[in-house]
Amino acid sequence: MVTWLDRGDLRLGLVPELGGRLLSVRYRGAELLWRNAELLDDDLRGEYAPNSGRMGDWVNYGGDKTWPAPQGWAGPDQWPGPPDPVLDSGPYTAVVDGDTVTMTSAPDPRTGLRFTRAITILDDGYELRLTAENTSARPVRWALWNVTQFPGGGSITAGLRRPDVVALVAGTGTPEYTVDDDRLVVPTQDVVGKLGVPGTAGWVTYGPLTLNFDVDPAGEYPDEGSPLEIWLEHPLPEPLAALGDLDPPARIVELEVLGPLTTLEPGAETRLLIRAEVREDGV
């Protein structure tokens, strides 16, 4: 079932059954997010089913979703997804209260977490209030990791408080970028790879959408201390064996916002707030 939120020129489309995703952000009728048109129609209807396996088995519907970090395959303190049948693609419950939809996952036995994604539509954008609760009987240590996918073809601009940028993944290469004083610019390019931004100032812009988020100067962040990560991909002639047979379906830009790594005792929570602002003039 699709839930729509409308306010002024903005329309949000959410699918709780599909990992609590925000799958559509439409501004004056124009879609801002990327979604897989082979899997979902314009009304966000399609077949939703939990998905597991290797990275090459992931069914990428697109949109905005929340994962646990760090990602990895070396042990129980790393999340070996996507895919993931609970937090990424499992059904979430939903409660609608005026301009807010609150979507909650089932408890995930592997990570010990239950996610809550509360999304509120605003006059000039929307707000994401994310919570990870430890529902297990053991202490766990994770960070919230929010991933928003956009259609490729544009440049990315991010604010910097210091000029720290690191190469995290080089599937076909490391994304090219420039640092100009207090701004990072990642131009349009065909590459499969990821940058981490330990020096982020807490905002990143792609097209008319800017994501704003807090950075804890004393916090410990995954991936070489990166509260912001930027992933680029494009279609390839064959899957990438080095990345679990990842097979990119399109030119995609991902803006990824992370909270600090937090040790959670049973019943404890960690939170992450992201405010998305839509402006016609972009940066």
281 has pLDDT over 70: no
| pLDDT for 105 | 98
Q: Which residues, 6 or more positions from 83, have their beta carbon under 8 angstroms from its beta carbon?
A: 51, 52, 53, 55, 57, 58, 59, 89
C-alpha span between 108 and 167 (Å, rounded): 30
Is the predicted pLDDT of residue 204 greater than 70, yes or no?
yes
Q: How far apart are the first and last CA of the chain?
A: 35
Residue 69 has pLDDT above 60, yes or no: yes
pLDDT score for 52:
93
Is 76 a residue whose pLDDT tops 80? yes
Go through the chain and tell me how many residues it has.
Answer: 283
In contact, 221 and 200? CB cutoff 8 Å: no
What is the average pLDDT across 230-258?
Answer: 96
Residue 274 confidence (pLDDT): 98
Give 8-38 pLDDT, tens digit per residue: 999 999 999 999 999 999 999 999 999 999 9
Average pLDDT over every residue of 214-240: 97
How much is the mean pLDDT over the chain?
96
Q: What is the pLDDT of residues 137-162, one digit of tens each?
A: 999 999 999 999 999 999 999 999 99
Tokens of 235: 């279609």
Q: What is the pLDDT of residues 78-136, one digit of tens each?
A: 999 999 999 999 999 999 999 999 999 999 999 999 999 999 999 999 999 999 999 99
Beta bridge partners of 142: 262
Sign of the Cα pseudo-torsion (242, 245, 251, 255, in order): negative
Amino acid residing at 77: D
Contact 24, 35 (CB under 8 A): yes
Angle at 105 between CA 100 and CA 111, to 5 degrees: 135
Q: Predicted confidence band at 280 (pLDDT cuts at 50, 70, 90)?
A: confident
